[in-house]
Amino acid sequence: MTAALQRATGPAAASASESGAVDRASAMPLVSVRALTKYYVRGDQVIPVLVDIDLDVAAGDYIALMGPSGSGKSTLLNMIAGIDKPSSGEVRVAGVDIARLSDADLALWRATHVGFIFQFYNLMPVLTAFGNIELPLQLTSLSRRERRERVETALALVGLTDRATHLPNELSGGQQQRVAIARALITDPTLIVADEPTGDLDRTTAEEILGLLERLNDELGKTVIMVTHDPKAAEKAHRLVHLEKGVLVV
Amino acid sequence: MFVPLLVLRNAFRHKLRTTLTIVGIIVAIAAFGMLRTIVDAWYAGANASSSARLVTRSSVSLVFALPLTYAQKIRQVDGITSVAWANWFGGVYINERNFFAQFAISAPTYLAMYPEFVLPDDERRAFLADRVGAIAGRKLADKYGWKVGDQIPLRGTIYPGTWTFNLRGIYDGAQEGTDTSTFFFHFDYLNETIKRQFPGRGDQTGVFVEELSNADDAAAVSQAIDATFKNSLAETLTETEKAFQLGFVAMSEAILLAIQAVSFVVIVIIMAVMANTMAMTARERYGEYATLKALGFSNGFVAMLIYAESVGIALLGGLLGIAATFPLANVFASTIGAILAGFKVSRETLMMQLMAALIIGVVAAAIPAWRAARVRIVDGLRAIG
């Protein structure tokens, strides 16, 4: 699977993935967060969300961000994934300070480097499982045949080959989340971010999804950062990071 | 294929909403086309007029007749090759609802002056030979099912009594815009009958029509004709046939302006309805747009999706509205065709309908697309769940 994905995304992605293995071995951080602060302004009131965060995530690592509601864990994840910008500080992913990228460059960067898994799956309701998984590949220069091969591989990996033509509303929650995982994986990204990936699922299905994430990490060497409330989900991670009121608790 | 497929599927996600929107656009575009066609038909007579013909009438009002003796003096004005005359009859065929124009004409000269009325030679000869003969346009004859040889009774309103005419011919139009909904008969028949019944009303006609040797001389010849009858008991006003026809249009100018205004108001209303639909649609999908952006699609791509959907729906409704205009126009024309003789959907009207549909689509998408493009990913994702 990894080889097939790397072939399709080209040498840059392939080298990134390979370098991930090297980074993991040498413990060089893939993600480096320094003095990160995020606050919102409501009228004359400044509401801090994240305060002076320093965090390193090694390539190939699997970390769980935990903390009570409002602690800032999803905000931190959004900063690392490049869908929100810090008020101050630095977020470097694979050496790139993503906080300094323009919106257009950041969009391009996300397309290449980040796979997203959301709590509510966020699938396009008008596209089939196949179409949803193929979605990120529409931004690449891959041919239709190459795209099809990659999607079929991803569908097989998440065990949904027989559901390729089903629309999201014809799939169970667990199946939808597996489609979302396949979509996150399809561009062979540097980093996979998951925001409460089991938050909407029953225990058995949640276990299946967590098993899939483990395989992504163990077998494909993907770096996974997961926000969760669920201690059992967090147990699967290599490392736990706690946040309380926007501050990292070691 | 990805983008068209996504746009198409999105467009019909809410089938009822989209269908109702399309129906609204069909009605609006068809109504716009019909109203524009009504306005065009009003001007059709003027547009079909010849620039080589002048019309002379009483300078006081069209309701005042001119002495027939004027014809001889007009003929002597330089630049005129032929003079004919015509008189409004205003008869009723069976009942008042069957309105159509009827003119008593100096048949030989009048028909020679109007080559756009195409009449078979045998029918022309039969008409000219029959004192109570008449000819009718094709549209008029088809409407009432008349055939050559039929007797057509008209009840006079200006000229009392029942006047029965022998239909000797049915004329066609040489050009597409030629009026074929008029009924012509011999002025001599009218004049002789009137002179017998009301001697004081004889030897008068409503208008004279002059044929020019050179259309460029229209202004000078008009002045010369009017100068000839200056300070007479019946002073004249001579103008080109087009100006004469536009004079009738001008009488209805306020109505025409109102029709034109309504035609644009219809478009503005459907534009607002469509904009509301697209705003609702975009608001419901903020989460999806945020997801697309998170996956790496640009703000412009999201805006393009909304524009494409809006323009697609508007054009579909517009094309169906254009298609619906033709049967509507046919029904309308068959109902009041004799009043608005040149009732035909023009190419310009079709282009205006298409443009209107396009503008509806673009304008309706503008604000929703702008908002969707600007929505922050984190805010959009919050809309899900």
Q: What is the DSSP string of A23-36?
A: HHHHT-EEEEEEEE
Residues of B in contact with A136 (CB under 8 A): 295-296
Q: What are the extents of the domains in chain A?
A: 2-249
> For B153-166, what is the mean pLDDT?
93
- Give me the pLDDT at residue A26, please: 47
* Mutation target among B15, B285, B291, B384 for the A interface, most CBs of A within 10 A: B291
* Mutation target among A9, A40, A49, A83 for the B interface, most CBs of B within 10 A: A83
- Give me the pLDDT at residue B111, please: 95
DSSP 8-state class, residue B92:
B
Is residue A112 less than 8 Å (CB to CB) from chain B? yes
Instruction: Please name the member of B2, B10, B378 whose beta carbon is closest to the beta carbon of A83.
Output: B378
Is residue B374 less than 8 Å (CB to CB) from chain A? no
> For A33-53, what is the mean pLDDT?
93
- Give me the pLDDT at residue A227, please: 95
Is residue B383 less than 8 Å (CB to CB) from chain A? no
- Please state, in angstroms and rounded to a whole number, the distance separating the CA atoms of residues A82 and B365: 28
A172/chain B closest Cα distance in angstroms: 16
The pLDDT confidence band at residue B341, using thresholds 50, 70 and 90, is low
Alpha helices of chain A — where are they, by DSSP H?
Answer: 2-9, 11-26, 73-81, 103-113, 129-134, 144-157, 173-185, 203-218, 231-235
Interchain pair B296, A139: CB under 8 A: yes
Non-local CB neighbours of A67 within 8 Å, separated by 6+ positions: A73, A242, A243, A244, A249
- Please state, in angstroms and rounded to a whole number, the distance separating the CA atoms of residues B163 and B187: 13
- Give me the pLDDT at residue B352, please: 96
> For A133-138, what is the mean pLDDT?
96
Q: Higher-confidence residue: A14 or B136?
A: B136
A232/chain B closest Cα distance in angstroms: 22
- Please state, in angstroms and rounded to a whole number, the distance separating the CA atoms of residues B219 and B196: 39
pLDDT above 70 for B342: no
Pairing type for strands A247-249 and A96-97 reads unpaired
The pLDDT confidence band at residue A16, using thresholds 50, 70 and 90, is very low
Please write the tens of the pLDDT for every residue from B55-66: 999 999 888 999
The pLDDT confidence band at residue B2, using thresholds 50, 70 and 90, is confident
- Please state, in angstroms and rounded to a whole number, the distance separating the CA atoms of residues B122 and B125: 5
- Give me the pLDDT at residue B207, please: 95
pLDDT above 80 for B337: no
Query: Is B227 strand, coil or helix?
Result: helix
pLDDT above 70 for B38: yes
Here the ipTM equals: 0.88
pLDDT above 50 for A7: no
Residues of A in contact with B286 (CB under 8 A): none
- Give me the pLDDT at residue B343, please: 76
Structure tokens at A151: 């999607």
Structure tokens at A44: 């004359």
Q: Are A111 and A84 in contact (CB under 8 A)?
A: no
The pLDDT confidence band at residue A250, using thresholds 50, 70 and 90, is low
The pLDDT confidence band at residue A25, using thresholds 50, 70 and 90, is very low
Please write the tens of the pLDDT for every residue from A71-81: 999 999 999 99
pLDDT above 60 for B169: yes
DSSP 8-state class, residue B146:
-
Neighbours of A98 (CB within 10 A): 23
Search chain A and give the residue with CA nearest B374. A103
Sign of CA dihedral A152, B292, B280, B323: negative
Search chain B and give the residue with CA nearest A119. B385
Please write the tens of the pLDDT for every residue from B206-234: 999 999 999 899 999 999 999 999 989 89
B294/chain A closest Cα distance in angstroms: 6
Is residue A39 less than 8 Å (CB to CB) from chain B? no
Task: Give ∠ CA B350-B354-B355 in degrees, rounded to 5.
Answer: 115
Q: Which residue type is seen at A227?
A: V
Search chain A and give the residue with CA nearest B289. A124
- Please state, in angstroms and rounded to a whole number, the distance separating the CA atoms of residues A180 and B294: 13
> For A148-157, what is the mean pLDDT?
95
Phi, psi of B235 (to 5 degrees): -70, 155
Phi, psi of A60 (to 5 degrees): 85, 5
Structure tokens at A143: 């041919």
State chain A's mean pLDDT as an integer. 88
Is residue B299 less than 8 Å (CB to CB) from chain A? yes
Pairing type for strands B182-186 and B133-137 reads antiparallel
b (16+ CB within 10 A) / e for A110-145: bbbbbbbbbbbbbbbebbbbbbbbbbbbbbbebeee
Structure tokens at A223: 């770096």
Is residue A143 less than 8 Å (CB to CB) from chain B? no
Phi, psi of A103 (to 5 degrees): -60, -45
Is residue B10 less than 8 Å (CB to CB) from chain A? yes
pLDDT above 90 for B245: no
- Give me the pLDDT at residue A49, please: 94
The pLDDT confidence band at residue B340, using thresholds 50, 70 and 90, is low
> For B104-130, what is the mean pLDDT?
95
Query: Is B178 strand, coil or helix?
Result: coil
The pLDDT confidence band at residue B385, using thresholds 50, 70 and 90, is low
Q: Are A126 and B15 in contact (CB under 8 A)?
A: no
Enclosing H/E stretch for B136? strand B133-137
- Give me the pLDDT at residue B283, please: 93
Q: Are B353 and B32 in contact (CB under 8 A)?
A: yes
Q: Which residue type is seen at B171?
A: Y
Interchain pair A107, B293: CB under 8 A: yes
Class of domain A2-249: alpha beta
State chain B's mean pLDDT as an integer. 92
- Please state, in angstroms and rounded to a whole number, the distance separating the CA atoms of residues B190 and B193: 5
pTM: predicted TM-score of the whole model, two decimal places: 0.76
Non-local CB neighbours of B120 within 8 Å, separated by 6+ positions: B169
What angle do helix axes A103-113 and A11-26 make, rounded to 10 degrees?
70
Lowest mean pLDDT across A9-18, A238-247, B70-79: A9-18
Neighbours of B250 (CB within 10 A): 11
- Strand-pair partners of B153: B164
